[in-house]
A and B are shown apart, each in its own frame.
Chain A
Amino acid sequence: MAKRSPPGPLEYLRRWQMQAWLAAVGVFLYAPLIALMAFSFNDSRRNIVWKGFTLKYYDKAFNDSSLIEAFANSLTIAALCTVLSVALGAMIALVLWRFRFPGKTVLDGALALPIVVPEICMGVAMLVFFAKVMPWPVGLPWPLNLGAITIAHVSFSFPFVAVVVRARMASFNREMEEAARDLGAGEWRTIKDVILPHMAPSLVAGSLLAFTLSLDDFVITFFTAGPDTVTFPVKVYSMVRFSVTPEVNAASTILIVLTVILTAVALKLQGDPAATAGHGGEKA
């Protein structure tokens, strides 16, 4: 390593042109986010010239009850959505992995729909559904008032979980299942003791995916949210429309940090970031 050899023919990463390109892309992707986070600590409302370090906008954000309520709503919805999505996603992944049945191709296609359909189309479908078919009662106690948003989130999250779980089950050795049966385990026992342990890592990955998808969603929530069920992104949206203020920077920084932590945990659990590269690649 001490002596640097000239880059080999395929070591593109060691060419300066490539390094410059990567650096430029890195600046493009990260500079706005880093500026956003840095200026949340800036002691000036103008948000453009550095005037000194302060935490007062975090203090303000934490004392803004509507912001806190929106944040709590978002976390609650994300938690509920995660539980439901993982259960539903794992079940349907198990069915599609294990069985041959008439209509399988159709089911497979239908399950891919929530992933590929443009968000706006799904948003308006949810708006219509909760306005005309199943009006969600107003004034329910928390957290029941979040039901409509949670349902919408589960609808677009659980197919993603199913994709992750199915990818994992592809590496399952079916002989293990047969062995369990041979040794006298019943259906449910086999699922519990043989299949579920193999599935476990993908359940963790899937739950983190569902949690992030739910926490991030703006468009579909925007169409399902009522005046008393504001989520964090919807709240930030109304603040952003108004103007660029340090409070929004502070609130955004908190969410970015939370996302980074969740991503780090997900990658740690999955071991290899390349393994997650393909997942969730279809949805904003």
Chain B
Amino acid sequence: MEQSWKQAKSVFAAALSAPLAWLVLFFLIPMAIVWAYSFGHNEGLTQIAITGTFKNYARAIEPLYLKIFLKSAGAAGITTFLCLVIGFPVALAITFASPKAKAWLLLLIMLPFWTNLLIRTYALIAVLRNEGYINKGLEAVWNLAAKVMPLQPFQPLEMMHTNFAVVVGLVYVHLPFMVLPLYSALDRLDKSLLEASLDLGAGHLRTLFKVVVPLALPGIASGVLITFIPALGAYLTPDLLGGPDSQMIANVIERQFKRANDWPFGAALSFLLMYLTFVAIAVQALLSRGKKTGEAV
């Protein structure tokens, strides 16, 4: 049982003060300042007056920026969906693998996840660009085919600086985020339920959709959340792989702070992103709570 803090005040105070001070000073205060700025406006070149205006938020939901928000949500949604489709069989395979194979498969999934994000994105550039591995491979095949039949000279597929590249990049980066929570949910399943379903004549697909998916729903929900949130706020992937029309919300925020020098507006955009994150977390918490009470009844 936990101890009341009053029973060991000196230990409590000594252990709490430093981390709490750090959290407040170097995290909560900076966030609070950005939040305050989102209700202010530029005065002169460097001063920001906090006036309690909602002008920045109003501007953030103008069609131009609303479109970028929707586009970011769309890209993150497609990414999450693709990660779920690609990752679910992987998580299923890991769950039912032998202990040794399981350890190796988990390691294989986790290793890219520990590798630097920038390096992974850079590796994709080398694959996707016009002189990249895919286009060079296609060109080789095309030239072989051209020897047999008359063909136009090879035109490389334009993949870099497109929305396609951004989604590929986001899936590439976020796949482990989806597989790990899915695996931990599937691993807790009672396997005899699956066996029962198969025994009673349901096929594998039917068992999957009628037994596995409903039981693993909380894990699927947390995988979706854990993938969706970072994908929504992704900065590096659209910056390096995307073109002028595939900018996501994080790129717009960066521009406000670094180039456009409109901090209040950037602050409002960044807090809209925060609010969206909180809404997503709250929805997920509600869903999993509803699920739990549903089971209790």
Closest-CB distance, A184 to chain B (whole angstroms): 16
Question: Are B175 and A127 in contact, with the CB atoms below 8 A?
Answer: no
Interface check A124, CB cutoff 8 A: yes
Q: Report the separation of the CA atoms of residues A164 and B191 in the bound assembly, to the nearest whole angstrom.
A: 29
Contact B31 A125 (CB under 8 A): yes
Interface residues of A in 133-155 (CB under 8 A from B): 133, 151-152, 154-155
Residues of B within 8 A of A89 (CB): 19
Within 8 A of A (CB), among B58-116: 86, 89-90, 92-93, 96-98, 101-103, 105-112, 114-116
When chains A and B are docked, how far (Å) is the Cα of A254 from the Cα of B23? 33
Asked if A121 and B122 sit within 8 Å, CB to CB, the answer is no
Q: Which A residue's beta carbon lies closest to that of B194?
A: A10
Q: Is A111 an interface residue (CB 8 A)?
A: yes
Are A281 and B118 in touch, CB under 8 angstroms? no
- Residues on A with beta carbons closer than 8 Å to the beta carbon of B240: 240-241
Q: Is the CB of A240 within 8 A of B114?
A: no
A31 to B120, CA, bound (A): 11
- Chain A residue with Cβ nearest B103: A273
What residues of A have a CB within 8 angstroms of the CB of B123 in the complex? 32-33, 35-36, 252
Bound complex: CA of A111 vs CA of B195, how far in Å? 42
**A22→B109 CA distance, assembly (Å):** 10
Determine whether the beta carbon of B226 is less than 8 Å from that of A121.
no
Q: Which residues of B contact A46 (CB under 8 A)?
A: 131
* Known contacts A25-B90, A35-B133, A98-B2; is-contact A277 B110 (Cβ 8 Å): yes
Expressed in whole angstroms, the Cα–Cα distance for A9 and B208 within the complex equals: 13
A residues near B174, Cβ cutoff 8 Å: 284
Query: Across the interface, do B106 and A277 meet the contact criterion of CB distance under 8 Å?
Result: yes
Number of interface residues of B (CB under 8 A): 98
Residues of A within 8 A of B271 (CB): 121
In Å, the complex CA distance between A18 and B267 comes to: 46
Inter-chain contacts of A76 with B (CB < 8 A): none
Instruction: Choose among A9, A113, A154, A273 the residue that contacts B107 (Cβ–Cβ < 8 A).
Output: A273
| Contacting residues of chain B (241-293) with chain A, CB-CB under 8 angstroms | 250, 253-254, 257, 263, 266-267, 270-271, 273-274, 277, 281
- Docked pose: A97 CA to B101 CA in angstroms: 35
Please state if B115 and A33 are interface contacts (CB–CB under 8 Å): yes
Candidates A118, A127, A262; contact of B250 at CB < 8 Å: A118
Judge whether A114 is part of the interface by a CB distance below 8 angstroms.
yes
Contact assessment for B112 and A88 in the assembled complex, using a CB-CB cutoff below 8 Å: no
CB closest residue in chain A, given B36: A128
Partner of B11, one of A116, A154, A191, A244: A191
- Which A residue's beta carbon lies closest to that of B136? A48
Contact, CB under 8 Å: A256 / B119: yes
Q: Are A125 and B33 in contact (CB under 8 A)?
A: yes
Question: Does residue B163 face the partner (Cβ distance < 8 Å to A)?
Answer: no
Q: Do A281 and B270 touch (CB < 8 A)?
A: no
How far apart are A42's CB and chain B's nearest CB, in angstroms? 11
A6 at the interface (CB under 8 A from B): no
Instruction: For B230, list chain A residues within 8 Å (CB).
Output: 118-119, 282-284
Contacting pair B118 A233 (CB below 8 A)? yes
Smallest Cβ-Cβ distance to B88: which chain A residue: A21
* 8 Å CB contact of B122 from A92, A129, A240: A240
Known pairs A100-B2, A259-B114; A244 contacts B263 (CB<8 A)? no
In the bound complex, how far is the Cα of B176 from the Cα of A29, in angstroms? Answer: 10
Nearest chain A CB to B36 CB, angstrom units:
10
- Given A21-B89, A32-B126, A101-B5, A215 and B116 touching (CB < 8 A)? yes
> How near does chain B come to A36, taking the closest CB pair, in angstroms?
4
- Whether B184 contacts A277 by the Cβ 8 Å rule is yes
Q: Judge whether A113 and B86 touch: CB under 8 Å.
A: no
CB 8 Å contact bits of A6-25 with B (1 = contact, 0 = none): 00011111000010011001
Q: A118-B230, A120-B250 are in contact. List 19 more A-B contacts (CB 8 A).
A: A12-B92, A12-B96, A21-B93, A99-B4, A99-B8, A118-B233, A122-B27, A124-B254, A191-B11, A216-B116, A216-B117, A256-B116, A263-B111, A263-B114, A273-B107, A274-B102, A277-B110, A282-B230, A284-B174
Interface residues of B (CB under 8 A from A): 1-5, 8, 10-12, 15-16, 18-20, 22-23, 26-31, 33-34, 37, 86, 89-90, 92-93, 96-98, 101-103, 105-112, 114-127, 129, 131-133, 136, 172-175, 177, 180-181, 183-184, 187, 191, 194-195, 198, 226, 229-230, 232-233, 235-236, 240, 250, 253-254, 257, 263, 266-267, 270-271, 273-274, 277, 281
Chain A residues in the interface with B (C-beta under 8 A): 9-13, 18, 21-22, 25-26, 28-33, 35-36, 39, 46-49, 87-89, 91-92, 94-95, 97-101, 107, 110-111, 113-114, 116-129, 132-133, 151-152, 154-155, 158, 162, 174, 187-188, 191, 212, 215-216, 218-219, 223, 233, 236-237, 240-241, 244, 248, 252, 255-256, 259-260, 262-263, 267, 272-274, 276-278, 281-284
